[in-house]
Amino acid sequence: MSFPMFKAAILAAACAATLPVAASDTQTDQAMAVWNNQVRADLQRAQQYPDRAIALGLEGTVKVRVDVARDGKVTDIEVVETSGANMLDHAAKQMIRRLGKLPALSADMDSYSLVVPVKFRLAGEAADAEGADVKWRDAVRRRVASSLSYNNRMAANELEGHVKVRLVLDANGKVVGREIHQSSGNESLDAEVLHMAGRIGKLPSLPAGEDHAELVLPLTYRLAGDR
Tens digit of each residue's pLDDT (9 = 90 or more) over 168-214: 888 888 888 888 989 988 888 888 888 888 888 788 888 877 788 88
pLDDT-derived band at 1, boundaries 50, 70, 90: very low
pLDDT at 28: 62
Q: Which DSSP category does 207 fall into? A: P
Q: Mention every residue, 6+ apart, whose C-beta is less than 8 A from residue 47.
A: 8, 9, 11, 95, 118
Distance CA 102, CA 218 (A): 29
pTM for the structure as a whole:
0.50
Rounded to an integer, the average pLDDT of 41-52 is 81
Where are the alpha helices (H) located in 85-209, listed in sequence order?
Answer: 86-99, 123-147, 152-156, 187-198
Q: What CATH number has the domain spanning 6-123?
A: 3.30.2420.10
Q: Is 57 exposed, middle or buried (0-12, 13-18, 19+ CB in 10 A)?
A: exposed
pLDDT digits (tens, 9 = 90+) for 63-120: 999 999 989 999 999 999 998 888 899 999 998 888 888 888 887 788 888 888 888 8
Residue of 81 and 14 predicted with greater confidence: 81
Distance CA 16, CA 63 (A): 14
Q: Which DSSP category does 224 fall into? A: G
pLDDT at 130: 60
pLDDT at 69: 92
Q: Closest Cα partner for 182 from 163, 198, 166?
A: 163
pLDDT-derived band at 37, boundaries 50, 70, 90: confident
Q: Answer for the pair 204, 137: CB distance below 8 angstroms, yes or no.
A: no
Q: Closest Cα partner for 118 from 143, 148, 87?
A: 87
How many of the other CB atoms lie within 10 Å of CB of 147?
A: 13
CATH 3.40.50.2300 corresponds to the domain 132-226: no
pLDDT at 225: 57
Residue of 186 and 44 predicted with greater confidence: 186
Q: Closest Cα partner for 118 from 172, 51, 31, 46?
A: 46
Would you say residue 20 has pLDDT above 70? no
Domain boundaries, the chain: 6-123, 132-226
